[in-house]
Structure 1
Amino acid sequence: MASKKQSINIGIVGLGIAGASMIPAIIAHPHVNLAAAATRNQERLDKFANDYHAKTYYTIDELCRDPEIDAVYIATPTELHTEHVRIAAEAKKHIIVEKPLAVSLEDAESMIELAEKNGVHLIVGHSHSFEPPIQKMKEIIDSGKLGRVLMIHNWYYNDWIYRPRTPEELKTDLGGGVTYRQGSHQFDIIRLLGGGEVRSIRAATAISDPERPTEGNHSVFLEFENGIAATAVYNGYDHFHTTELTFNIGEGGPLSNSGVYAQARRTIKATNSPQDEVALKVEAGYGGSRSKNYQEAEKHHPFFGLTIVSCEKGDIRQSPDGLIVYGEEEKYTVQIPMEETGRINVINEIYKAVIKGVKPIHDGRWARANLEVCIKAIQSSKERKELYLNYQVPVKEPVENNI
């Protein structure tokens, strides 16, 4: 049901890299207000209050007791998502929660039930299927111009495993490692483009560095109920980088750094302790010395690795300014304006859900389906066999409810 309100007030829980990166999208939306933030880092709270003249709280409980807050963006570690979603849902706050939704399917189910019981929307983002190039790929697929989709591939090689990490990010049972943390992006992209319903997967994962004891690479074959075949290949060990194949454009949209070869791996190997590594990670968060200026517009849409869709009558891939379509008779480009971003699309999805009654695509059940692929990929690798999936859902087409 559409709301009588015309705008929503959002509070951010967690001002690390994820929380900081969402701030410009919230500010850019004409009907969404950046109203508050919660974190246990007092220095960040003070800076946030000064920068945005917004309320600050030490805990999510305090923020959710604020009657002026309509929705929360939960950007806390994965193992805290279940409890933080419970707090927000019981306070009747609409929710955006970072990916992956949870560590287990049981936790995911409880979060879905809590949101539905309390009448609030639960959306998972930022996931890379929100990005305009992926959305445009889906639009071309849905148009039928290139015929039926045959296969989808997302291959990504980078330095993920050697970027500064907190301890839980290197523990698989807490949702760490590339299969949980980055596979959730890959599977989200592939499922959106393939129709959503994965039938089965066969995967191989590996832990190549005993000092980083979690999955650092995976190769996953997915077969959809509709017959589409897909692969998700990820290697985060900082050797070859996919940017060599994506016009030197990386995940955040900028040109890839041209520094020392294997710079991330060398930096981490040179740290003296886990505490030093955590300090590096903290400095990359909001207000830190290594934080990115997210207010600065990127020159290109981001490349989450190399994504190629093959249809009966052509292939589609990204270009620096949009897409390249390799049709039967010609190769042509599709320009995509830079004003739209994936994070703006996240905020717009919660806005449309709350204010206009549009059922979100990236809801709890969609996120649980992505999580199931992550879990089954690790299980498939251990058992060395194909596994069938049970919690997959089709892609919803947004319908506005004006009742």
Structure 2
Amino acid sequence: MSLQHGILNIGIVGLGIAGASMIPAILKHPNVRLTAAATRNKDRLEKFAKDYNAETYYSIEDLCKSPRVDAVYIATPTELHTDHVKIAAEAKKHIIVEKPLAVSLEDADHIIEIVENNDVQLIVGHSHSFEPPIQKMREIIDSGKLGRVLMIHNWYYNDWLYRPRTPEELKTELGGGVTYRQGSHQFDIIRFLGGGMIRSIRGVTGIYDDSRPTEGNHTVFLEFEDGIAATAVYNGYDHFHTTELTFDIGEGGPLTKSNIYAQARRLIKETKSQTDEVALKIASGYGGNRSKNYKNSEENHPFFGLTVVSCEKGDIRQHPEGLIVYGEDEKYIVPISKEETGRINVIDELYKAVIQGKKPVHDGQWAKANLEVCVRAIQSSKERKELYLDHQVPIKEMVKNTI
């Protein structure tokens, strides 16, 4: 058994954009092996088997029967997470599952119970709070050099709503729309930096395109138990892009193209049917003709919008070389190696939990707390009032993710 030798064998379930983007991180970790994949797409499976000399399956059930798989990365649609976690956990496989954890808080509870009953580790891949600049911000906060935190803001304007989408991604009830899909990243970053314990939120969400009938933007005010104020602003309608404020670097890491303005909206308008749009989405996944070269995509630390932390004695934001700190007496750069990436840290957090017994930060309870913010933000907008939260958890002692 590989675990006895300190090696963790991982199989990927779902070879779309999320699944494909995790492959380089798995390959880079010295103590993790990529041994299998499952997807319904025959062409992807054949290419994967050829590229990695790995086992391939058409279902998660069959993949989880393999003795060469110790853990699974579940990169399937949100509405399938509960069933897929159940299958993996009952097969005694450790789990990384994509964000958000589930569609509802009840499903999140069910997932947590399944994992605990089967004594397996669960990490939720909120990959942007794993990014080295966000982790370094947390390190600076913990050091106390800048005093206590006063405000945390994450603002992101992009083209999310007009990227090629499958039907479920445009249905809020299935966990679609920017508040579930992207707010889950924002709220995770903010909670990670602020310590986890949000007291209340007031949200306003918007659905402004009848052809894309799900949340395309939101503005959410969050107050922590200790008084930290935060805002999460997201607009996916493909007009202004915050890459103009983040050194032309977006969430994937590479410099943005000069013609990015309205490019996604134009493409969707030219797409003749939902079938054609789904085909575009499929082509963006593993082996597709629109897929990224993920081995070379993270040329810089990714910017998930503009993140600014304000403390008593200074402000912190990202910089292409790492962080820039605006202190009381000087402004200076904190360099961060580009060898480490958020996705490598996702893999490493699971590895350390399974092999070294270290409690993970991004476990089921943490993910449920992030999901609660997503759910309550939409509810707050509908009811037009502040809502208090019930399922928040404090950040565990942070383990530096170095390999």
- Distance in 2 (CA, whole Å) between partners of 1:131 and 1:233 is 20
Equivalent position of 1:40 in the other structure: 40
Once the 2 structures are TM-superposed, how far is the Cα of residue 189 of structure 1 from its aligned partner?
A: 0.1
- Distance in 1 (CA, whole Å) between partners of 2:90 and 2:5 is 21
User: Is contact 1:160-1:178 (8 Å) kept?
Assistant: yes
Compute the TM-score of the two structures, normalised by the length of structure 2: 0.98
The one-letter code sitting in structure 2 at the alignment partner of 1:36 is A
- Distance in 2 (CA, whole Å) between partners of 1:261 and 1:95 is 38
Aligned pair in 2 of structure 1 residues 116, 32: CA closer, same or farther (>3 Å)? same
User: Is contact 2:126-2:184 (8 Å) kept?
Assistant: no
Once the 2 structures are TM-superposed, how far is the Cα of residue 4 of structure 1 from its aligned partner?
A: 4.3
Equivalent position of 1:294 in the other structure: 294
Deviations 1:119-158 (A, max 9, x none): 0011100431000000000000000000000000000000
Secondary structure of 1:296's match? helix
Equivalent position of 1:29 in the other structure: 29
Equivalent position of 1:173 in the other structure: 173
Equivalent position of 1:305 in the other structure: 305
Greater shift, 226-235 or 259-268, is seen at 259-268
Mapping of residues 321-400 of structure 1, within 5 Å:
321-398=321-398
- Distance in 1 (CA, whole Å) between partners of 2:222 and 2:5 is 42
Unaligned runs of 5+ in 2: none
Equivalent position of 1:230 in the other structure: 230
Greater shift, 372-381 or 60-69, is seen at 60-69
Aligned pair in 2 of structure 1 residues 187, 257: CA closer, same or farther (>3 Å)? same
User: Is contact 1:196-1:394 (8 Å) kept?
Assistant: yes
Equivalent position of 1:133 in the other structure: 133
Deviations 1:174-207 (A, max 9, x none): 0000000000000000000000010000000000
User: Is contact 2:126-2:188 (8 Å) kept?
Assistant: no
- Distance in 2 (CA, whole Å) between partners of 1:274 and 1:281 is 11
User: Is contact 1:5-1:355 (8 Å) kept?
Assistant: no
The one-letter code sitting in structure 2 at the alignment partner of 1:246 is T
Secondary structure of 1:295's match? helix
Aligned pair in 2 of structure 1 residues 323, 126: CA closer, same or farther (>3 Å)? same
Tell me how large the CA RMSD over aligned residues is.
1.0
- Distance in 2 (CA, whole Å) between partners of 1:169 and 1:318 is 29
Equivalent position of 1:13 in the other structure: 13
Aligned pair in 2 of structure 1 residues 399, 245: CA closer, same or farther (>3 Å)? closer
Unaligned runs of 5+ in 1: none
- Distance in 1 (CA, whole Å) between partners of 2:297 and 2:42 is 28
- Distance in 1 (CA, whole Å) between partners of 2:298 and 2:25 is 13
Aligned residue pairs total 398
- Distance in 1 (CA, whole Å) between partners of 2:108 and 2:260 is 41
Deviations 1:204-237 (A, max 9, x none): 0000101000000000000001110000000000
Aligned pair in 2 of structure 1 residues 379, 87: CA closer, same or farther (>3 Å)? same
Once the 2 structures are TM-superposed, how far is the Cα of residue 258 of structure 1 from its aligned partner?
A: 1.4
The one-letter code sitting in structure 1 at the alignment partner of 2:269 is K
Once the 2 structures are TM-superposed, how far is the Cα of residue 5 of structure 1 from its aligned partner?
A: 3.6
Structure 1 residue 122 and structure 2 residue 122: aligned? yes
Equivalent position of 1:87 in the other structure: 87
Once the 2 structures are TM-superposed, how far is the Cα of residue 62 of structure 1 from its aligned partner?
A: 0.1
Once the 2 structures are TM-superposed, how far is the Cα of residue 296 of structure 1 from its aligned partner?
A: 1.4
The one-letter code sitting in structure 1 at the alignment partner of 2:33 is N
Equivalent position of 1:71 in the other structure: 71
User: Is contact 1:283-1:289 (8 Å) kept?
Assistant: yes
Deviations 1:9-65 (A, max 9, x none): 000000000000000000000000001000000100000000000000110000001
The one-letter code sitting in structure 2 at the alignment partner of 1:143 is S
The one-letter code sitting in structure 1 at the alignment partner of 2:200 is S
User: Is contact 1:359-1:398 (8 Å) kept?
Assistant: no
Secondary structure of 2:296's match? coil
Once the 2 structures are TM-superposed, how far is the Cα of residue 398 of structure 1 from its aligned partner?
A: 4.6
User: Is contact 1:358-1:398 (8 Å) kept?
Assistant: no
Structure 1 residue 98 and structure 2 residue 85: aligned? no
User: Is contact 2:252-2:297 (8 Å) kept?
Assistant: no
Equivalent position of 1:109 in the other structure: 109
- Distance in 1 (CA, whole Å) between partners of 2:100 and 2:352 is 22
Compute the TM-score of the two structures, normalised by the length of structure 1: 0.98
The one-letter code sitting in structure 2 at the alignment partner of 1:8 is L
Once the 2 structures are TM-superposed, how far is the Cα of residue 159 of structure 1 from its aligned partner?
A: 0.2
Residue identity (%): 78
Structure 1 residue 319 and structure 2 residue 347: aligned? no
Secondary structure of 2:201's match? strand
Greater shift, 295-304 or 231-240, is seen at 295-304
Deviations 1:248-275 (A, max 9, x none): 1111011112126301001101110000
Once the 2 structures are TM-superposed, how far is the Cα of residue 386 of structure 1 from its aligned partner?
A: 0.3
- Distance in 1 (CA, whole Å) between partners of 2:85 and 2:385 is 34
The one-letter code sitting in structure 1 at the alignment partner of 2:32 is V
The one-letter code sitting in structure 2 at the alignment partner of 1:252 is G
- Distance in 2 (CA, whole Å) between partners of 1:234 and 1:399 is 29
The one-letter code sitting in structure 2 at the alignment partner of 1:96 is I
Once the 2 structures are TM-superposed, how far is the Cα of residue 370 of structure 1 from its aligned partner?
A: 0.2
Deviations 1:365-388 (A, max 9, x none): 000000000000000000000000
User: Is contact 1:186-1:232 (8 Å) kept?
Assistant: yes
User: Is contact 2:49-2:56 (8 Å) kept?
Assistant: yes
- Distance in 2 (CA, whole Å) between partners of 1:127 and 1:216 is 21
Aligned pair in 2 of structure 1 residues 5, 260: CA closer, same or farther (>3 Å)? closer
Once the 2 structures are TM-superposed, how far is the Cα of residue 348 of structure 1 from its aligned partner?
A: 0.2
- Distance in 1 (CA, whole Å) between partners of 2:229 and 2:287 is 43
